[in-house]
Structure 1
Amino acid sequence: MGGTKALAPWNGTTLIAAVIDRMAAQASAMALNARPDQAQDLARFGLPVLVDDEDLADLGPLSGVRTALAWAQARGNDHVVTAPCDMPDLPKDMVARLMAADAADIAYFATMRDHPLCARWSVSLLPGLEAALAGADGGLAVMRFVERQTVIKLPTEDDAAFANINSL
């Protein structure tokens, strides 16, 4: 898409504003994750902006998960729920379903394909994720990390809720 994907127009607003609106009623606290060069663009939404470590920012979405886990840990939380900025139609009960899932390092949704970034992550993963990112050369594939953890997949038939917007 070019530029900051989160700010791409979507139904009269932006992708990130649509996700914020969808998640606001579900979460007790919210924050946005950003690469260092995008943080200022996201500050206008009035939520804390968690900036990825400069050394990890180019390692893919798991650098953002790492940043969110560190934030959750500092707040005394056991888990964090993540949602990508390019899925504006996520289920209105996403957080409740993730939090109700059985104990696991990661709980995420699976439709016809897996959606590991629509997930509940245990803060206990932080040291292992940091080590994996430190050893990543050029990035760390999400599924490569996820497959090494204790995982619960939450089946759902609602493929449309997890539609990833990659072009407008």
Structure 2
Amino acid sequence: MTPQLVLLAGGKGKRMGGNKPFAPYGRSTLIETLIARLKPQVRGLVINAGAKESPLILPLSCLGLPLIFDAPDLIDLGPLTGVLSALEMARAAGDTQVITAPCDMPDLPEDMVAQLLAAPPADIVYFKGERDYPLCALWNVSLIAPLRTALERAEGGLAVMRFLDSQNVSTVKVSDGTAFANINHL
């Protein structure tokens, strides 16, 4: 069964002046474009909204997808808090894996999920090209305890690649890096 996919939309979007998921993109917004691209690839989409006090909760809830939130003791530690929330949601649903994607990559491959599922098995499978794209990834729920521990020990945040370097990973080769371009400026 195809895992659920969690869109990571809980960041503050400081480089864009906030409200990143709803930044205009084409005839829509970043997050709406990404939802349309990814929805056919998975059995369910969920949005990680970050903190329960986020000003984006109301607009995100209007997208008609379930929202999940980060643990209050791990707020502002970076995108891996959203990954942890995704993993905990997957485990609670009885799933063994979850896929994540950041909300600022509207041109992800139309077969992104299939590529992740076809990769050699590992605790984390992510895309790698000239750059690493570690948040476009398939995560095993066995990572909950080590990720929580790493986040609790991280002061001021935990670098994604630093965590991945300590885990069993597999990568999918990226041939077209433009599909993974992130939008950080309007």
**Cα shift at 1:23:** 0.4
User: What is the rounded CA distance, in whole Å, between the counterparts of 2:17 and 2:70 in structure 1?
Assistant: 20
User: What is the rounded CA distance, in whole Å, between the counterparts of 1:10 and 1:167 in structure 2?
Assistant: 11
Question: In the alignment, residue 98 of structure 2 is paired with which amino acid?
Answer: V
Unaligned runs of 5+ in 1: none
**Cα shift at 1:93:** 0.4
Is residue 2:68 matched to residue 1:50?
A: yes
**Cα shift at 1:56:** 1.3
Question: In the alignment, residue 139 of structure 2 is paired with which amino acid?
Answer: W
Q: Which runs of 4+ in 1 moved over 6 A?
A: none
Q: Is the 8 A contact 1:108 1:120 kept in 2?
A: yes
Q: Is the 8 A contact 1:81 1:121 kept in 2?
A: yes
Name the Cα RMSD after superposition: 0.9
User: What is the rounded CA distance, in whole Å, between the counterparts of 1:102 and 1:146 in structure 2?
Assistant: 16
User: What is the rounded CA distance, in whole Å, between the counterparts of 2:57 and 2:156 in structure 1?
Assistant: 22
SS of alignment partner, residue 109 of structure 2: coil
Q: Which residue of 2 aligns with 1:130?
A: 148
5 Å-filtered alignment, 1:72-151, equals 72-151=90-169
Q: TM-score, normalised by structure 1?
A: 0.97
Q: Which residue of 2 aligns with 1:22?
A: 37
Q: Is the 8 A contact 1:33 1:52 kept in 2?
A: yes
Unaligned runs of 5+ in 2: 1-15
Q: Is the 8 A contact 1:39 1:51 kept in 2?
A: no
Q: Of residues 151, 155, 178 in structure 2, which corresponds to 1:160?
A: 178
